[in-house]
Amino acid sequence: MQFISTSLIAIMAAAITAAPTPNAQEASATAATQLIDLWVDKDFLGLKFTGSSTVNTCNNLSGGFRDSVSSGKAKAGFRCTVWVDNDCLGTGFSFNANPGSNLFPSWINDQSSSWKCVTA
């Protein structure tokens, strides 16, 4: 009986260690990446928000950055959009890494509620 129990435990342990694990490429595809920098003042000045997320995922702004950002830059290799409404709804304004936008248009300046970045 003890032999059967010991054998069963050994077989179960081998099965658990043989379970497939995601490869590094799959894991990095879903990892949060720094995608966007937003500032509360024009010309990339004042308090700065750096947004991390997965590419092509909508994120709502919160705290002191909701309805208060005036300039922004996407990180290199990305194009980002800020929206006037939560959940990336309503009208959006897009910008790249260089030159970014040193002053958002008046209709979205200090009115951004959400953001999303895609590969440029």
Q: Report whether 104 contacts 70 (CB < 8 A).
A: yes
Q: What is the mean pLDDT of residues 97-114?
A: 97
Give residue-wise pLDDT tens across range 10-22: 444 444 344 444 4
CATH superfamily of the domain spanning 31-119 = Crystallins (2.60.20.10)
DSSP letter (8 states) at residue 62: -
Over residues 23-68, the pLDDT tens digits come to 444 444 568 999 999 999 999 999 999 999 999 999 999 999 999 9
Rounded alpha-carbon distances, angstroms, from residue 7 to 2, 16, 19 = 8, 14, 19
The domains of the chain are located at 31-119
Confidence at residue 29, expressed as pLDDT on a 0 to 100 scale: 53
Task: Check: CB of residue 65 under 8 Å from CB of residue 110.
Answer: no
Residue 78 and residue 36 in contact, taking contact as beta carbons nearer than 8 Å: yes
Helices (H), 1-116: 2-17, 24-30
